[in-house]
A and B are shown apart, each in its own frame.
Chain A
Amino acid sequence: MPENKSGSPQLRDEDNHNFIPMWLLAELTYACPVQCPYCSNPLQISANRKQELTTEQWIDVLSQARELGAVQLGFSGGEPLVRPDLAVLIQEATSLGFYTNLITSAIGLDAAKIAAFKAAGLNHIQISFQGSNQESNKKFGGTDSFRHKMEMTSEVIRQEIPLGLNFVLHRQNIHQVGEFLETAEVLGAEFVELANTQYYGWAKHNQQGLLPSRKQVEHAERVTNDFRSRHKGNMDVFFVAPDYYDDRPKKCSNGWATTFITVTPEGDVLPCHAAKVIPGLDFPNVKQHKLSDIWRSSDLFNKYRGTSWMVEPCASCPERMIDLGGCRCQALMLTGDAANADPVCSLSPFHDRVTKITDRASGEFDSNEPVPLLFRNMKNAEQFNQDQS
């Protein structure tokens, strides 16, 4: 790997050996056939795939991450199936000792690829659905892919690869939770994640059209709990509520730079996949730096590690070790300073900025007049790129 450090972020001398990046998220490409308006990718994604890491560079990243102790690996994107070298990367990851997870829309998947991935050692597949039926899946994903997703779900089960289904919930589809759970059960899924949208990137831009009311969330939770009690033990269902309705924030990625490491398609290394929204940060890249130097010594990874960066009310808060002040990106987006307490916390002086948003979402959802959503595609991204430059 080249060791050219000119023009790249300054690395600190002090090492930090206490934390192990056990979870590596490999975002193989930003290219994606689905156009989810709730995508957490940055708005400024590039259609130019020439900057993507090569197969050899990814293998080097995997090998370095494994040396640091990474053991869970998620192949993500964009749509990782777009990369023709995916089976090779799975094979390499397996031989390095990773437990490999493929996070996919299933578009581009077929029985032969599933078999090839299985032979390469793939441990787990997560297939995402954008709606609970053909119409809503098409409406929110921008592709007519529902039947194909159903077929691929059955095929993955048939080939006996552990499978989870993921259904991202928002204001305009959260009422379909029951229908989705029924579908998942018929397909024979063992694990279903009902994940409310998290408001980063495209999702933040579309927040007004996506954030459900508290009433909608409570209804969906009730439907989920009813389903669980009716179908005890057959299918594990995990419901992720939107944190805007909590009064304490969620820990950022289990604590900034303690557990997770994300490598973007171009090789930038992030402590969480949304961190690019934070201004004034230099993002070290695997093309210039060793992963171990980035993890242990970069300004980026040390910036919000531990608690010494905290300001009040977090700094003296008795609960600061529980949530570590919440999410830095959310603090930035809603208060203008990433070091502030995550304003989801009711102790934050900026908490009213969250309640203002949730108050606006409190109105009854009218399916006839959905707020227009901006879809995540390269044409719309190009618009953001132009606006920025």
Chain B
Amino acid sequence: MSSLNLDLDSFAINPQYRFQWEAAQQCHVLLFPEGLVKLSDSAAEILRLCQEPTTLATLLSALEKMFPGVEGLEDDVREFLSDAREQEWITPA
């Protein structure tokens, strides 16, 4: 498991993984050795912003601009990123 600290470190999608749109499945996927994960729209919106190294603060400010007035946005993003960190979808960058 990565030692990524979401509040301190910058991070990006694990270089072994690939984020891409799949027309046949009408969703974004994350590809990795011999496997793939289908992503929900909200997960894809977050990971799209993690294709280049970023920080939680940068990410939140971008998402707040995209989805103004959404309640609990920060909590949702934090929860998703913690999960993504556990799964090693994102790693320190």
Chain A residues with a Cβ under 8 A of chain B: 20, 22, 68-69, 71-72, 74, 97, 99, 101, 123-124, 126, 162, 164, 191, 233
Contact = CB atoms under 8 A, between A and B. Distances in A.
Interface stretch (B22-30, B39-47, B55-63, B75-83): B22-30
Contacts of B1: 233
Interface of B: 1, 16, 18, 20, 22-25, 29, 31-36
A126 B33 CA distance: 9
Contacts of B24: 20, 68-69
Given A71-B36, A74-B34, A99 B18 contact: yes
Contacts of B22: 69, 71
A162 B31 contact: no
Contacts of B18: 99, 123
Nearest to A160: B15
In this complex, which of A72, A126, A164 has the most chain B Cβ atoms within 10 angstroms of its Cβ?
Answer: A72
A101 B29 contact: no
Contacts of A97: 20
B73 to A, nearest CB: 30
B59 to A, nearest CB: 25
A124 B11 CA distance: 22
Contacts of A71: 22, 29, 31, 36
A101 B34 contact: yes
Contacts of B34: 72, 74, 101, 124, 126, 164
Contacts of A191: 33
Given A123-B16, A162-B33, 8 more contacts: A20-B24, A69-B23, A71-B31, A97-B20, A99-B36, A124-B16, A164-B33, A164-B34
B27 to A, nearest CB: 11
A340 B35 CA distance: 30
18 contacts: A20-B25, A69-B23, A69-B25, A71-B22, A71-B31, A72-B34, A72-B35, A97-B20, A99-B18, A99-B31, A101-B34, A123-B16, A123-B33, A124-B16, A124-B34, A162-B16, A164-B34, A191-B33
A99 B32 CA distance: 8
Nearest to A21: B24
In this complex, which of B16, B20, B23, B34 has the most chain A Cβ atoms within 10 angstroms of its Cβ?
Answer: B34
A233 B32 CA distance: 18
Nearest to B24: A69
Among all A-B residue pairs, the 4 with the closest Cβ atoms: A69-B24, A124-B33, A99-B31, A162-B16
A162 B35 CA distance: 13
Contacts of A126: 33-34
A124 B22 CA distance: 20
B33 A101 contact: yes
A300 B18 CA distance: 33
Contacts of A233: 1
A293 to B, nearest CB: 16
A126 B36 CA distance: 17
A22 B36 contact: yes
A25 to B, nearest CB: 11
Contacts of B25: 20, 22, 69
Contacts of A124: 16, 33-34
Nearest to B22: A71
Contacts of A72: 31, 34-36
Contacts of A69: 22-25
A123 B34 CA distance: 10
A74 to B, nearest CB: 7
Nearest to B20: A97
In this complex, which of A68, A123, A164 has the most chain B Cβ atoms within 10 angstroms of its Cβ?
Answer: A123
Contacts of B36: 22, 71-72, 99
Contacts of A123: 16, 18, 31, 33
Contacts of B16: 123-124, 162
Contacts of B32: 99, 162
Contacts of B31: 71-72, 99, 123
Contacts of A74: 34
Contacts of B35: 72
A340 B31 CA distance: 35
B88 to A, nearest CB: 10
